[in-house]
Amino acid sequence: MLPKWHVLYGFIFSIILVYFFDFSFFAGVIIFLSAVFIDLDHVLICIFEAKSLNPVKFYSRALRRRYIWLDLERKERDRYKYPNFILHGIELAVILFVLSYLHIFFFWVLLGCLLHLALDILETIYTEQHISYKTSQIWLWQRNKNKKEWVIE
């Protein structure tokens, strides 16, 4: 999902929690930020692959790759390895859930991450990508075995 949608839905979700469910303003900010900045793993992968810190280059490269990837048929996509975004999956949610017993801060981060993951899963279903892509990085890692790298440049 494009960042603008995560920003919009994260903002709306945070506002609803603050105004209707008595969350503090600080909690709303943390939930919003975690709903947006979970995508830092996309940035890290792109920096690693492109070996560039230029945000304009990163964004244009990421958009181009996204549209080419989504233009492929599902069967064609399934021949290649899906990218492994370490912050997108149940594994992070479980860690945050356990940490939330230590401090409420982690619960707020968990809420933001779950919103983000829910939006990504809906988009994954809509764009006919394999659901492991945004649900479990361990599952995705297993699915990616013996598949070809998808290289575009």
Read off the DSSP letter of residue 72: S
pLDDT value at position 102? 96
Read off the DSSP letter of residue 5: H
Amino acid code (one letter) for 112: G
- Each residue's pLDDT tens digit, 63-108: 888 888 788 887 888 888 877 788 888 899 999 999 999 999 999 9
Sequence-distant (6+) residues with CB within 8 A of 151 are none
Give me the residue label for tokens 């479990």: 136
pLDDT value at position 19? 93
Structure tokens at 38: 């979970």
Q: Mean pLDDT lowest for which of 4-8, 44-48, 71-75, 97-101?
A: 44-48
Using an 8 Å Cβ cutoff, are 38 and 88 in contact?
Answer: yes
Return mean pLDDT, the chain: 85
> What is the percent of the chain with per-residue pLDDT over 90, rounded to a whole number?
34
> What is the percent of the chain with per-residue pLDDT over 70, rounded to a whole number?
97
* Whole-angstrom distance, CA of residue 94 vs CA of residue 66: 28
* Whole-angstrom distance, CA of residue 10 vs CA of residue 2: 13
Tell me the backbone φ, ψ of residue 148, rounded to 5 degrees.
-80, 150
C-alpha angle 34-39-45 in degrees, rounded to nearest 5: 145
* Whole-angstrom distance, CA of residue 127 vs CA of residue 61: 20
